[in-house]
Amino acid sequence: MRLFIYSIVDGLSGLKRSGISSLLTILTICCSLVLLGAFYIIRQGLRENLQETRSRFVLEAFLLDAEPKDHETTGEKILHLAGVDSIEYVSKDDALARVRETFGDDYLALIEDNPLPASFHVVLQPSYVNRDSVARIVAAIAGVPGVEDVVYRATLIDLLNRYDRLVGAGFIIFGIALSILGFVLISNNIRLTIEAKRDIIETMELVGASRGLIVGPLLIQAMIEGGLGALFAGIVLSVLVQVGTIFIPVLSPVTAATIGVLVLVGILFGFLGSFNALGWRIRY
């Protein structure tokens, strides 16, 4: 317990004693986390955007002419298919009204009979909006009695798919690479700090300091540096996002929770970094 308190007190004064090198560590952690955070926020923004696009994706199921009651049964069947989120009935009249809205009255004035079929606009659950599932659902809907044809924008699906792979695997690999890079930077920085204390550590060993007493304050110091660096990174990020939303509207704002997570990551980086740097330095 006393060791713990001592570690905290001495870790704090260690910040002051190390001065510039502490500042450098904080800066390194801050920069690494700004990079990581920015990356994460952009990825998150893209994902949300993607999800949103998905939820707007609709299939149009054109119906054979029939009694409204039959259309209702058809709709019910469609709604019960796996992956279907909601449906909207568009009657012949509705369809006509929509066309009028788009092209103006004169265009249809020539035609006396309404040639447009009734249809269902089918919205899928976002996770089903990919090539395979859509193909399966389209086939299923086409098989429902009363459905004449199913139409959708296949190119959009392809686009979403490609986008998805980018936000998924590609981003994860990039994120891991970025994390490793940040960790190496931080770890190296802490190693330099500790290397500079080599004489001090040696002298401490000579006067009988145990491993915990030497390592404890250094670990705490690095963790405080990690936390502070992360906090600054959080502040920088929220400002960046504020500015960034002007140009990229998909970015979501940095919340207190995000900053909290960031600080935890910073503390973890500080801990692991100094652990990594210390391991071989202390003999017992």
Partner 1 sequence: MKIIRFNNVRQSYPNGEGIQLADFSVGRGEFVFLVGPSGAGKSTILKLIIMAERPRSGTVEVGEYISSSIRPGQVPLLRRQIGMVFQDFRLLQDRNVYENVAFSLRVIGKSGAYIKKRVLRVLADVGISHKRYQMPQNLSGGEQQRVAIARAIVNEPLVVLADEPTGNLDPETAKDIMELLVKINIGGTAVLMATHNYHLVEQTGFRVLKIDAGVIRE
Q: Which residues bind partner 1 (CB under 8 A)?
A: 2-3, 6, 13-14, 17-18, 197, 199-200, 203-211, 213, 283-284
Whichever of 171 and 225 has its CB closer to partner 1, that residue is 225
Cα dist from 258 to 124, 146, 233, whole Å: 30, 50, 11
Q: How far is the CB of 262 from partner 1 (least distance, A)?
A: 30
Q: How far is the CB of 30 from partner 1 (least distance, A)?
A: 24
Whichever of 21 and 161 has its CB closer to partner 1, that residue is 21
Backbone angles phi, psi at 111, to 5 degrees: -90, 130
Q: How far is the CB of 207 from partner 1 (least distance, A)?
A: 5
Closest C-alpha among 238, 243, 229 to residue 258: 238
Whichever of 74 and 221 has its CB closer to partner 1, that residue is 221
Three-state DSSP at 126 gives helix
Closest C-alpha among 56, 122, 54 to residue 88: 122
Q: Are 148 and 154 in contact (CB under 8 A)?
A: no
Whichever of 233 and 277 has its CB closer to partner 1, that residue is 277
> Which pair of structure tokens corresponds to residue 57?
């994706």
Whichever of 200 and 264 has its CB closer to partner 1, that residue is 200
Q: How far is the CB of 182 from partner 1 (least distance, A)?
A: 28
Instruction: Please give the distance of CA 31 from its chain centroid, rounded to a whole number.
Output: 19
Q: How far is the CB of 2 from partner 1 (least distance, A)?
A: 5
d(CA 66, CA 92): 11
Instruction: Please give the distance of CA 148 from its chain centroid, rounded to a whole number.
Output: 40
Q: How far is the CB of 18 from partner 1 (least distance, A)?
A: 8
Whichever of 280 and 284 has its CB closer to partner 1, that residue is 284
Q: Rounded to the nearest 10 degrees, what angle do helices 211-247 and 2-18 cross at?
A: 60
> Can you tell me which residue has the tokens 């920069």?
31
